Chain A
Amino acid sequence: MARGDLIAPIAVSDTGDIQALVTAGFGSLTAACFLMLRVAEATAAKAWLAGVQVATVADLGKDKPPLTQVVQVALTSDGLAALGLDPAIIAQFAPEFVRGLARDASRSRRLGDVGDSAPAHWHWGSGDRTPHLAVLLYASDAGALTALEAATEAGLGGGFSIVTRLHTANFAGREPFGFMDGISQPSLDWQGRHQPGSDHYANTIAAGEVLIGYPNEYGRIADRPLLPGEHTLPAAIDDPGWGDLGRNGSYLVHRELAQDVRGFWRWVGREAPDAALPLAEAMVGRRIDGQPLAGLATHAIAGEPRPDSNGFTYDADRDGMICPHGGHIRRSNPRNGDFPVPPRNIFERAADILGLRGKPEADAIASARFHRLLRRGREYGQWLDREAALDQDAPDPQSGINFLCLGASIGRQFEFVQGAWCESAKFGGGSGESDPLLGSRAPFPDEQATDGFTRGCPAGRRLRHDGVPRFVTVKGGAYFLLPGVKALRFIAS
């Protein structure tokens, strides 16, 4: 096998080298805090990194004692440079990671990080407040977390300065607007059994979609730094003579998203006084208790562990009368296969490939399997009930979500989903609407509105809402590498 060949799926075996966040959100560890650090003194910083104990996938499992606390470590490209890693090595990582989330105005524009969400207003993640390191701390309760945090900070020595501490809250599975969250997650093919490509939507994706250094949905391994003869690193799967600095790692996107809970429920209440909740549920694309919208039949989907609440597609709702095309969860995962309508025979398949079947506008959304996000977010702030949010005297709960997601390609996964699907006013061939929750609402281009929202209503007609306000504002963020343990030690050496 040589570099560049198609690579068959292989089982992921070195679980002791993979940080546990790849398989777990540590739901039972309800207290969490994220430390954002900058390297103050490289030698001391490296000494800390060389010794830090991070939980790995091997520490999890039914036969293992449950973890009571977890430490995970991730680095930005600025961090790698500050630790003295050769720039020629850093340059071999994905270009989005190398540049970072906030450095380029063009990236901010694509992602909708404009206006109040522009990096210039962030309290961390931009300029000299760009972290070098994120230390993610998880513990079973607030007391244990405080102790873990204190011990961690005491152990840092003089190696780091703290940019910010991001504290989180536990809303029992709900995000601040009140919706059950984290229901839909892709299943990773750890056993190497999944053959990429499918006519129907499937929830299983190749390991290489999340783990760097493994074959992805194209049957290829994405670019990452390879170091000749570096035997302290895992060997490159496609070229075993080389050490693979990326293997067993994953890119971690972190964005702090402030949610205007009061603004959301007040606007919905004004817009649909008799049916605020149905409007809110249409905007999300899911019922507030996490169940699919009424009318979306559930069924078994390959790789979907929760068919009752998540076993649905939009195949029977092509006109968006049940779940609006622009609904948040439909935008961020359209649940489609490789063809707009699965071909029934070889002739239809040929006609599909040549673009001779169906209508062009029915084929406007890219196949979902290349654009999945493994989410690991945590809420923050105070809980505010939706009825209480309507009260004029309700205090601002200052809540939101620390959005975290993992993937092996920031460009094809996070940036694609955020930019081309959520923020884009042209998603799926539509016009004038961005994501009803996430959209920046910035007119684009020129003065053209992006703040609409269209949904079906019982009469079979459509209802259009205009002037949807901005509900989510970005307060900070960064692109990190969540390295494998050996890679972490190599960076520290």
Chain B
Amino acid sequence: MTPQDFFQVMAPLPPGGHAGIDALLAEMCWPGQPGRAHPANPLIPFGDFPNLHFARLLVIDDPTLADRAGTGLPTAEPAYLALLGSCDGTADAMLAALAEGAAPGLRALFRQCGLAPDADVFTWLRAHAVRPATGYVNWVGRTVAQVREEALLHRLLVAAVPAASGKADCVAARAAIIAAVKVHAPTLTPEAPTPMGWLHKNRESFWLPLLAFIVALVLVVPRLWLPLLIGLALFAYVLRRRERADPVIAPQTSAAEIARRSAYEDHDVTNAFSAIGSLKPGRFRLWLTIAVLWGVNWTTRHIFTKGRLARVGTIHFARWVLIDDNRRLFFASDYDGPLETYMDDFINKVSFGLNAVFSNGIGWPRTDWLVLGGARDEQVFKRFLRYHQCITQVHYKAYPGLTTYDLARNARLRQGYQARSMTEVEARTWLAAI
């Protein structure tokens, strides 16, 4: 199994360094489809990189910094040019491949950010790389190659359906379809062995926190229950006081601006969401954010690895990245469907999770006990999201037109195609999936 990784390069732009970049980024997209990267664009020919699932480029210029007024936080932070994406294998290997295969384009893009003509591109990219605090992968281990092979298999299966006509039962129908597809000998590469280092680390990261938790439960709690209880009460008191006092800042984004942004959306079934905001000042919110993000990361690594993040099944990849000495949080995701459905999923299905992370950010709709309320306030939440949204100026997807459900279905079809035998009921389900 080949694990996925997240790469992200962020380079501060000089003041006023926008204009040239915006034009360059626009050139990377399909004509008439702003935001949708051309896989063979001359700057970064994304389609040449077989391990690349998604990639995006955008200028992150935080429109919400003025909300820091009176908090003691600086009201200026750099604007960044960011290149980020999700890949098979490690982020470093992906950056090395990009540096190798798209050096002139990367030099042109990052020239204004200080990438000198004689500098080594990979070294420079690595020096500007950041790691997400939390990453989410829809299906851990599903590679680009696998997605493409299985999509082709699906097309062949669909084309072979007429071969099943007249067959008495589903088992016979399946056999006829498989025979018709076998003629084309579709490539279905077996799963690669899981890298040992990753496997060890993954096991450790699963067991160690659990072990620590059990040890704490057995050894620490019986002895120190009183201080723990006092600590918990103190935490609750501080949290509640802040929740009641923290201001909600979610001004309406103008209808014209919403329209301008939606010109970048819905050119494919998958859209990109990028957003940035500031953490509330003080250590309480910072440590709470770090703890919650660590917890979320544990679940995305060990629980939500097969098709959904809590109840949300439409996200391909998502990341939460702390930047600027932990003063700001950047969020990016690749999700299926229009933004409105995505926001509704957030509200109806995972408001508790969003609240736990983002209520530590300035302006979030008011929460109760960290997880309640907050994003459930539909209108304020939608305003907040749009207020913090950055336009994803270039978005690349390695498998246009395919949703997470398509990918999962194609993987099931492949299993059924390769299975030695099936019962009548299994065969019926398999046929229905075609």
Contact mask A215-229 → B, CB, 8 Å, 1/0?
010101011000000
Name which of B46-54, B221-229, B308-316 contacts chain A: B308-316
Q: Does A251 make an interface contact (CB < 8 A)?
A: no
Interface check A190, CB cutoff 8 A = no
A95 and B258 within 8 A (CB): yes
| A353-B310 contact in complex given A4-B377, A366-B341, C-beta closer than 8 Å | yes
Task: Tell whether B90 is near chain A: CB-to-CB under 8 Å.
Answer: no
Select which of A98, A319, A411 is within 8 A of B340 by beta carbon.
A411
Q: Indicate if B41 sits at the interface (CB-CB under 8 A).
A: no
Query: Quick one: which of B378-413 are within 8 Å of A by CB?
Result: 378-380, 383, 400-401, 403-406, 408-409
Decide: A419 and B338 in contact? CB cutoff 8 A. yes
Within the complex, what minimum Cβ distance (angstroms) separates A459 from chain B?
A: 9
What residues on B are CB-neighbors of A189 within 8 Å?
none
Stretch in A35-43, A58-66, A273-281, A442-450 touching the partner = A442-450
- Chain B nearest CB, measured from A106 CB (Å): 4
Q: Which residues of chain B have C-beta atoms less than 8 A from A431's C-beta?
A: 403, 405-406, 409
Question: Interface digits, B195-225 against A, CB 8 Å rule (1 contact, 0 not)?
Answer: 0000000000000000000000000000000
Closest to B376 in A: A218
* A352:B400 contact, CB within 8 angstroms: no
B107 interfacial contact with A, CB 8 Å: no
A218 and B366 in contact, given A360-B308, A446-B400, A448-B401 (Cβ under 8 angstroms): no
**Which residues in window 96-155 of A have CB below 8 A to B?**
96, 98-99, 103-107, 109-110
| CA gap between A131 and B185 in the complex, in Å | 59
Q: Tell me the complex Cα distance, A92–B344, Å.
A: 21
B266 within 8 A of A: yes
Query: What residues on B are CB-neighbors of A295 within 8 Å?
Result: none
Residue A207, interface by CB 8 Å? no
Whether A416 lies near B340 (C-beta < 8 A) is yes
Find out whether the CB atom of A412 lies under 8 angstroms from the CB atom of B344.
yes
Residues of A within 8 A of B173 (CB): 461
Residues of A within 8 A of B347 (CB): 218
Closest B residue by C-beta to A370: B344
Bound CA–CA A191/B354 (angstroms): 34
Partner of A99, one of B252, B259, B267: B259
CB proximity to A under 8 Å, residues B8-46? none
Q: CB of A199 within 8 A of chain B?
A: no
User: In the complex, are the beta carbons of A426 and B344 less than 8 A apart?
Assistant: no
B364, CB-defined interface residue at 8 Å: no
CA distance A240 to B247 in the complex (A): 22
Interface size class of B (residues with CB under 8 A): 35 or more
Which residues of the partner chain B approach A359 to less than 8 Å between Cβ atoms?
A: 307
Inter-subunit contact A462/B313 (CB<8 Å): no
A424 close to B401 (CB less than 8 A): no
Contact partner, B379, options A91, A223, A360, Cβ 8 Å: A223
Contacts of A338 in B (CB 8 A): 348
Which of B366, B376, B379, B403 is the one whose CB lies under 8 Å from A426? B403
A4 and B248 in contact, given A319-B432, A355-B309, A426-B403 (Cβ under 8 angstroms): yes
With A104-B259, A355-B304 in contact, do A426 and B252 touch (Cβ < 8 Å)?
Answer: no
Majority SS at the chain A contact face: loop
Question: How many whole Å from A490's CB to the nearest CB in chain B?
Answer: 21
Bound together, the chains give a CA A6 to CA B401 distance in angstroms of 40
Contact A426/B337 with A106-B266, A355-B312, A445-B269 known, Cβ cut-off 8 Å: yes
Query: Nearest-CB distance from B74 to chain A (Å)?
Result: 29
**A223 proximity list for chain B (CB < 8 A):** 252, 379, 383
Q: Is B265 an interface residue (CB 8 A)?
A: yes
A104 to B265, CA, bound (A): 12
A281 to B372 alpha-carbon distance, docked (Å):
44
Rounded to whole Å, the gap between the CB of B57 and the closest CB of chain A is: 20
Q: Give the CA-CA distance A156 to B383 in the complex, in Å.
A: 40
Instruction: Tell me if B268 is interfacial: C-beta within 8 Å of chain A.
Output: yes
Residues of chain A with a CB closer than 8 A to B431's CB:
461-462
Is B418 positioned at the interface, with any CB of A under 8 Å from its CB? Answer: no
Any chain B CB within 8 A of the CB of A297? no
The answer to whether B377 and A218 touch across the interface, beta carbons within 8 angstroms, is yes
Q: In the complex the two chains form, is B336's CB within 8 Å of A426's CB?
A: yes
- Expressed in whole angstroms, the Cα–Cα distance for A248 and B263 within the complex equals 33
> In the complex, which residues of chain B have a beta carbon less than 8 angstroms from the beta carbon of A461?
170, 173, 428, 431-432
A-B contact pairs, 12 of them (CB 8 A): A4-B377, A95-B255, A104-B262, A106-B263, A218-B378, A220-B378, A223-B383, A353-B310, A364-B313, A420-B341, A431-B406, A445-B268
Which residues of A line the B interface, CB within 8 A? Answer: 4, 6, 91-92, 95-96, 98-99, 103-107, 109-110, 216, 218, 220, 222-223, 319, 338, 352-356, 359-361, 363-364, 366-367, 370, 411-412, 415-416, 419-420, 424-426, 429-431, 444-446, 448, 460-462, 464
5 other contacts beyond A91-B255, A110-B266, A361-B409, with CB at 8 A cut-off?
Answer: A360-B313, A364-B314, A426-B406, A429-B405, A445-B267
Q: Which 8 A-B pairs have the closest CB atoms?
A: A429-B405, A98-B255, A95-B255, A360-B313, A360-B307, A106-B262, A355-B310, A360-B308
